[in-house]
Amino acid sequence: MQPARVRAAAYVTRSVPGGRELLVFDHRDSPEAGTQVPAGGVDAGELLTEAVLREITEETGATGITMGSALAVQQRPHPQTGQPQVTVFFHAQTTETRDTWTHTVASQDGGQDNGMVFRCYFIPAEQAVALLADNQGEFIHLVKRPGTPATT
């Protein structure tokens, strides 16, 4: 049996009058990939929190990121290869003021996303489940509003 690929994903939110918005992106040149949140593989020796911050920066260029806690773990086969993968979902908040922008990936290691162009934008968080590809919205209900006590 092949070991699972470990990934980290982020629900990056901001508070605006009227509610909470979630940062998402679309691939300019691969619309079939669907709308996504920042996510990607964890490098050998890399902490999950380091990986998720790297993915947020590489894929969106968003600023003012404050990391929150891990929310949930998703275990499912990769949608194209069928190989096992485990994704740890985190919550992060941003003070990003842009509503929409285009970001070109410039990964430090020249990774597979290098040069991809993403259209980044915010959506109302409650739309995430219906909009996000590959069940990425599965845990959005775990994101707490600021000032809401965490449950134990």
Q: Which residues contact 52 (CB under 8 A, 6 or more apart)?
A: 8, 9, 10, 38, 67, 88, 90, 92
Q: Does 150 map to a domain?
A: no
Q: Does 133 map to a domain?
A: yes
CATH number of the domain within which 98 lies? 3.90.79.10
Q: Does 148 map to a domain?
A: no
Q: Does 109 map to a domain?
A: yes
Band the pLDDT of 1: cuts 50, 70, 90.
low
Q: Does 147 map to a domain?
A: no
Better-scored residue on pLDDT, 77 or 87? 87
Q: Which domain holds residue 27?
A: 5-142
Q: Does 73 map to a domain?
A: yes
Q: State the pTM of this model.
A: 0.89
Q: Is residue 102 within 8 Å of residue 118, measured between CB atoms?
A: yes
Q: Total domain count for the chain?
A: 1
Structure token digits, residue 5? 């690929």
Cross-strand partners of 15: 20
Better-scored residue on pLDDT, 87 or 81? 87
* Residues 33-62 pLDDT 10s: 999 999 999 999 999 999 999 999 999 999
